[in-house]
Structure 1
């Protein structure tokens, strides 16, 4: 006959299970279910996306992430605002 766990053992076992759920995830690979480590997140979003949204140019430069640095005044900058004459229709009112 199997011996029952004490309440302290149950709590420890439940805490260990919760820790494993945070650390690993189950996925299917080659038709089999396998456990892999979860990708790291910051505030629920992937680390790369968090850095892209919140890092300042000085930090990006110090960590050699130049591809994420915003480029200002470049002819290749697609996110630059339109010229003031392009933003107004013929009546001089912005649309």
Structure 2
């Protein structure tokens, strides 16, 4: 006796398709040690990786509150890393303090 495969109802087909789409959205297939494995996808915001989205859109106050100091942009005018030249020193000596 051969078994007859039971067909799915339209509701079951929709549920199966939705579950498959959900798995595709959550996981991706990669090769690790020559084997194909399924891993969770990295989180994204509007299709952009979260780290890149934060770098592009976060303001300095939010970055400071969340201890992401390395991402805070440093303005060139705040810190002068070059030593003063001889001309700058001579101009400063010629000025009369008030």
**4+ residue segments displaced more than 4 Å:** none
Partner of 1:56: 59
Please show how residues 37-76 of structure 1 align to structure 2 within 5 Å: 37-72=40-75, 73=77, 74-75=79-80
Unmatched segments (≥5 aa) in structure 2: 82-98
Unmatched segments (≥5 aa) in structure 1: 77-95
TM-score (normalizing by structure 2): 0.74
- Equivalent of 2:17 in 14, 27, 48: 14
Give the drift of 1:2.
1.1
CA distance in structure 2 between the partners assigned to 1:29 and 1:62 by the alignment: 38
CA distance in structure 2 between the partners assigned to 1:58 and 1:65 by the alignment: 10
**Greater helix share, structure number:** 2
* 1:14-33 Cα distance to aligned partner (Å, 9 max, x none): 00000000000000111110
Max radius of gyration: which structure? 2
Number of matched pairs = 76
TM-score (normalizing by structure 1): 0.77
